[in-house]
């Protein structure tokens, strides 16, 4: 694709000659401007890849002043055209961080050399900037991981050590019920640490581009029932009376979804629904019904998870899927702020979308729409 160039020149004959040369060289001339106002409008409208800027323009602003404004508006490379190569002019030009300048009159090969050098330099700078931003993001991610892991591991480890210590010191004095209680606490702590490690590994895989979507036929209703059964089994095994007795996970489905089988990535789908259901239970401290609804159409399958919990403040919803972000009303509830970020990435890999409706102290509804037979997964 040829580079789009804006010509800013107040002499009509020279401007048309430059346009002719550029077209012959295979570039696209998006506009010719002879003053600052037209140049700024052209940048805003056409988003050129480069501007050729005469220093003297019609009106009360010079090309140097115009270039400075353009750089604030859109950091495109600018090559100056000038009949003046004196030191004072060059010093003024340099204040705008130009990508080069050509002294009039110039040959065609001087023009193309200046343009290509400027374009290549600009692309290199963009690549370097992107790499630096990525490196900063990775460093921030590592710092957050270290902070989260060190904080979240401290309590489970303390719980495990305390339980072991009590069992070792008072083995003969403890009742069977007490021993089960300490073992249960240790098991819960191990499960919490395991979950945290899985979240960190999943985020790391996504960051490295190693998290893929591999679709295969999934019997959706059976999958949902088994997922809920796994939740209930875990609760019974761990004797977690709060969830076991105060929460009910209710599964409903539309008629079209009863026998529906779709090509989805079962592993990613499990991450999506497990995180959403876990959050629904965790953020409903007073119990109540958590509902998972399966809805199917000809080209979309929808999973809706609804709770009657603490809700999400409106100010938090915009950043809800950011890593490490947690609702301002959930700071006292254990969590890493990674779960919904994982959900979003798994949904994106399917080419789907996720929305949320929530009201504080009323409840939250997450709706996940996944396209059926999407080509996104195989890419």
Which CATH number does the domain housing residue 174 bear? 1.10.287.130
Q: Would you say residue 120 lies in a domain?
A: no
- The total number of structural domains that make up the chain: 3
Share of residues in the chain with pLDDT > 90 (%): 46
Q: Tell me the C-alpha distance between 357 and 239, whole Å.
A: 32
Same domain, 232 and 300: yes
- Per the model's pLDDT, the better-predicted residue between 135 and 149 turns out to be 135
Same domain, 180 and 204: yes
Same domain, 257 and 354: yes
pLDDT at 245 over 60: no
Q: Tell me the C-alpha distance between 233 and 244, whole Å.
A: 9
Q: What pLDDT sits at residue 157?
A: 85
Q: Residue 53 maps to which CATH number?
A: 3.40.50.2300
Q: What pLDDT sits at residue 376?
A: 46
- Per the model's pLDDT, the better-predicted residue between 196 and 292 turns out to be 292
DSSP H/E element including 32: strand 28-33
Same domain, 319 and 247: yes
Same domain, 370 and 259: yes
Start-end of H helices in 208-338: 220-238, 241-246, 266-282, 314-317
With CA atoms as reference, report the closest residue to 77 among 159, 26, 5, 144.
5
Q: Tell me the C-alpha distance between 254 and 356, whole Å.
A: 21
Same domain, 250 and 362: yes
How many Cα atoms occupy the beta-carbon half-sphere of 21 within 13 Å? 17
Domain boundary among 106, 127, 162: 106
Q: Would you say residue 77 lies in a domain?
A: yes
Same domain, 69 and 169: no
pLDDT at 287 over 90: no
Residue 356's domain comprises 212-379
Q: Would you say residue 198 lies in a domain?
A: yes
Same domain, 349 and 316: yes
Same domain, 275 and 367: yes
Same domain, 232 and 363: yes
Altogether, the residues listed in the chain come to a count of: 379
Location of structure tokens 């990525």:
134
Q: Would you say residue 131 lies in a domain?
A: no
Q: Would you say residue 112 lies in a domain?
A: no
Q: Which of 51-65, 205-219, 240-254 shows the lowest mean pLDDT across its residues?
A: 240-254
Cα dihedral sign, 339-344-345-346 = positive
DSSP H/E element including 218: strand 216-219
* Average pLDDT value over all residues in the chain: 85
Same domain, 281 and 259: yes
Quick one: pLDDT band at residue 238, thresholds 50, 70, 90?
A: very low
Q: What pLDDT sits at residue 378?
A: 40
What are the residues whose beta carbons fall under 8 Å from the beta carbon of 185, sequence distance 6 or more? Answer: 159, 162, 163
Q: What pLDDT sits at residue 231?
A: 81
pLDDT digits (tens, 9 = 90+) for 20-76: 999 999 999 999 999 999 999 999 999 999 999 998 899 999 888 898 899 888 889
pLDDT digits (tens, 9 = 90+) for 78-115: 998 887 666 766 777 777 778 888 888 888 999 999 99
Q: Tell me the C-alpha distance between 303 and 293, whole Å.
A: 6
């Amino acid at each position: 694709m040829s580079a789009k160039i804006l010509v800013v020149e107040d002499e009509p004959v020279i401007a048309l000659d430059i346009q002719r040369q550029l077209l012959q060289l295979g570039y696209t001339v998006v506009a010719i401007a002879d003053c600052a106002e037209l140049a700024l409008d052209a940048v805003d409208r056409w988003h050129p890849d480069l501007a050729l800027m005469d220093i003297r323009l019609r009106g009360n602003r010079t090309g140097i002043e115009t270039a400075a404004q353009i750089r604030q508006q859109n950091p495109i490379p600018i090559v100056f055209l000038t009949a003046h190569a004196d030191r004072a002019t060059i010093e003024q030009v340099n204040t705008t961080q130009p990508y080069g300048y050509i002294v009039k009159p110039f040959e065609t090969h001087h023009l193309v050399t200046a343009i290509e050098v400027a374009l290549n330099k600009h692309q290199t700078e963009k690549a370097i900037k992107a790499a630096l931003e990525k490196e900063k993001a990775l460093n921030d991610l590592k710092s957050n991981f270290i902070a989260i892991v060190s904080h979240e591991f401290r309590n489970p480890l303390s719980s495990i050590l305390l339980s072991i210590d009590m069992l070792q010191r008072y083995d003969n004095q403890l009742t069977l019920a007490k021993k089960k209680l300490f073992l249960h606490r240790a098991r819960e702590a191990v499960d919490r640490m395991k979950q945290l490690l899985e979240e960190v590994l999943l985020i790391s895989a996504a960051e490295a581009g190693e998290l893929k979507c591999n679709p295969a036929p999934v019997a959706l209703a059976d999958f949902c029932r088994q997922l809920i059964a796994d939740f209930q089994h875990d609760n019974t095994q761990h004797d977690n009376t709060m969830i076991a007795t105060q929460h009910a996970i209710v599964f409903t489905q539309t008629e079209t979804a009863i026998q529906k089988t779709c090509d989805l990535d079962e592993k990613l789908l499990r991450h999506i629904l497990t995180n959403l259901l876990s959050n629904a239970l965790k953020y409903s401290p007073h119990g109540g019904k958590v509902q998972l609804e399966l809805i199917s159409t000809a080209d979309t399958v929808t999973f809706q998870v609804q709770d009657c919990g603490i809700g999400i403040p409106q100010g938090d919803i915009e950043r809800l899927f950011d890593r490490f972000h947690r609702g301002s009303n959930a700071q006292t509830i254990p969590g890493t702020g990674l779960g919904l970020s994982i959900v979003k990435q798994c949904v994106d890999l399917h080419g789907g979308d996720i929305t949320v409706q929530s009201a504080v102290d009323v409840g939250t509804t997450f709706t996940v729409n996944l396209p059926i037979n999407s080509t996104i997964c195989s890419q």
